[in-house]
Amino acid sequence: MQIINSLSFSQTVSVDLGDDSYPIWVGKGLISQIGGLIGEQIDSPSKVAIIADARVAELFGDQMVKGLKPVVNSPIWITVPAGDQNKSIEWFMRVQDALIEHQLDRQSVIVAFGGGVIGDLAGFVASTYMRGIRWIQVPTTLLAQVDASVGGKTAINHSRGKNLIGSFHQPKLVLIDVETLDYLPEREVRCGLVEIIKHGVIMDESLFELIEQNLSDLLSLKTDILIEVIAKSCRNKAWVVENDEKERNLRATLNYGHTFGHAIETLTDYHQCRHGEAVAIGMNCAAQLSVNLELLHPTDLVQQNRLLQAVGLPLNLSDLSLESISPEDLLQTMYLDKKSSRGTLKLVLVQKIGQAKIHQDISNSEIMKAIEMCRKAK
């Protein structure tokens, strides 16, 4: 895995997985070059289906069609409404129906064009249609660019838990065009930064410090630092995926804050908070638990939470008026998480900024104590 300076205002990160290797392009104005970049990676597709967020299709549809001209003249558009509630079996079947109706075959390609919901849904469709066809990620939210688009995890939600139905299916190319972020609401930019901060907390102190030093420019979407931070974050995730593609052990560290966060999303039916906000609260819970168990020095907890607050993210359930969620209910929902094993929760806890470890011997009472400490602002 390496980062290579290439086109003007762009970098590439390679994900080295043998026959399933692929590049991640990070830059500005890349959508207009997508056809040429696809041509470098795969044979000419018989058909191209774009599964897109409806708003993204409206904003960037013409640019995408022009960019795809080198490989296809008339791509098929399938639009899905925004919202995590649409990452569902119902929309999975609707998209499959559309692919069958348009007679896509095994030489066809799916382009996921939107945020994490679209990437997860489109990837799962690609992994199952005709037992698996090629697909390409074009994430348009910061959160998706640094997290969901890299690593080949695909999934839809179940009413009892997030991402419980899914598969591993690596894309052939990830194209990250930072111009799409200019149209992103400020709240979504903040939610994307939480995943970059997470990478810093669990494995890269220098990335954490880079965010601290350039937070104002990142929040205002300054191109150069944005590309640098996104590429660095993708580089960290690529290294983890290369060493543990199917999440046997190491890759589970990327779930820092997510076991708590996914449970919060499930209990609020994916409506009352954004994924990034739930993860921020989850990171506070996990760090507080780390302090309680004397794994983490309290000053590191303060440092993490100070940065999360500076970004404008919640730390406690009460910050989003969710303090009615009880520790008992949250813990029970956490046991439905994919990372639980044989009735035991696997939790990612922090030892210091830049270093984390998986633990699965923590008592329910200790977990509930940490949750209680994160229900209301102190």
Both 39 and 101 in a single domain? yes
Q: Judge whether 189 lies within some domain.
A: no
Look at the alpha carbons of 334, 335, 338, 340 in this order and tell me if their dihedral is positive or negative. positive
Query: Which distant-in-sequence residues (6+ apart) come within 8 Å of 306 by Cβ?
Result: none
DSSP 149-177: TSS-EEEEEETTEEEEEEEE---SEEEEE
Both 117 and 249 in a single domain? no
Q: Judge whether 258 lies within some domain.
A: yes
3-state secondary structure of 280: helix
Residue 169 annotated to the active site:
no
Both 214 and 174 in a single domain? no
Both 215 and 171 in a single domain? no
CA distances from residue 118 to 217, 254, 304, 354 in whole angstroms, order as listed = 28, 20, 30, 30
| CATH number for 266 | 1.20.1090.10
Q: Which of the following is catalytic: 262, 274, 339, 375?
A: 262
pLDDT at residue 204, as a whole number: 97
Residue 255 annotated to the active site:
yes
Chosen domain end from 154, 184, 214: 184
CA distances from residue 296 to 47, 300, 357 in whole angstroms, order as listed = 52, 7, 11
For residues 283-305, give the mean pLDDT: 98
Residue 26 backbone class (left: φ over 0; alpha: ψ -120 to 50; beta: rest): beta
Chosen domain end from 184, 217, 235: 184
Query: Which distant-in-sequence residues (6+ apart) come within 8 Å of 129 by Cβ?
Result: 96, 99, 104, 110
Both 31 and 116 in a single domain? yes
Both 200 and 104 in a single domain? no
Q: Which of the following is catalytic: 5, 40, 131, 160?
A: 131
Q: Judge whether 378 lies within some domain.
A: no
Q: Does position 5 have pLDDT exceeding 50, yes or no? A: no
Both 199 and 114 in a single domain? no
How sure is the predictor about 160, in pLDDT bands with cuts at 50, 70 and 90? Answer: confident
Both 155 and 110 in a single domain? yes
Q: Does position 6 have pLDDT exceeding 70, yes or no? A: no
For residues 349-354, give the mean pLDDT: 98
How far is it, in rounded angstroms, from Cα 147 to Cα 115? Answer: 10
Both 30 and 138 in a single domain? yes
Q: Judge whether 232 lies within some domain.
A: yes
Q: Judge whether 353 lies within some domain.
A: yes
Q: State the average pLDDT for the chain.
A: 94
How sure is the predictor about 341, in pLDDT bands with cuts at 50, 70 and 90? Answer: low
For residues 83-107, give the mean pLDDT: 96
Q: HSE (CB half, 13 Å, CA atoms) of 169?
A: 24
Helices (H), the chain: 34-41, 54-67, 89-101, 116-128, 142-143, 186-203, 205-213, 215-219, 223-243, 258-267, 275-292, 298-311, 327-334, 364-373
Residue 55 annotated to the active site:
no
- Among 14-18, 38-42, 258-262, the minimum mean pLDDT is found in 38-42
Cβ(186)–Cβ(149) below 8 Å: no
Both 160 and 204 in a single domain? no
Domain that holds residue 295: 195-373
The pair of structure tokens assigned to 44 is: 């000419």
Q: Which of the following is catalytic: 199, 251, 338, 346?
A: 251
Could you give the number of structural domains in the chain?
A: 2
Q: Which of the following is catalytic: 188, 195, 228, 277?
A: 195
| CATH number for 146 | 3.40.50.1970
Q: Judge whether 352 lies within some domain.
A: yes
* Torsion angles phi and psi, residue 163, rounded to 5: 60, 30
Q: Judge whether 280 lies within some domain.
A: yes
Q: What is the greatest pairwise CA distance in the chain?
A: 60
pLDDT at residue 338, as a whole number: 65
Residue 69 annotated to the active site:
no
Both 110 and 129 in a single domain? yes
Residue 131 annotated to the active site:
yes
Q: Judge whether 190 lies within some domain.
A: no
pLDDT at residue 134, as a whole number: 98
Residue 346 annotated to the active site:
no
Both 86 and 178 in a single domain? yes
pLDDT at residue 339, as a whole number: 64
3-state secondary structure of 224: helix
* Nearest CA among 170, 166, 171 for reference residue 136: 171
Residue 359 annotated to the active site:
no
- Among 46-60, 126-140, 241-255, the minimum mean pLDDT is found in 241-255
How far is it, in rounded angstroms, from Cα 262 to Cα 260? Answer: 6
Chosen domain end from 146, 162, 184: 184
For residues 55-77, give the mean pLDDT: 96
Residue 195 annotated to the active site:
yes
How far is it, in rounded angstroms, from Cα 160 to Cα 182? Answer: 35
The pair of structure tokens assigned to 105 is: 């075959």
Q: Does position 90 have pLDDT exceeding 60, yes or no? A: yes
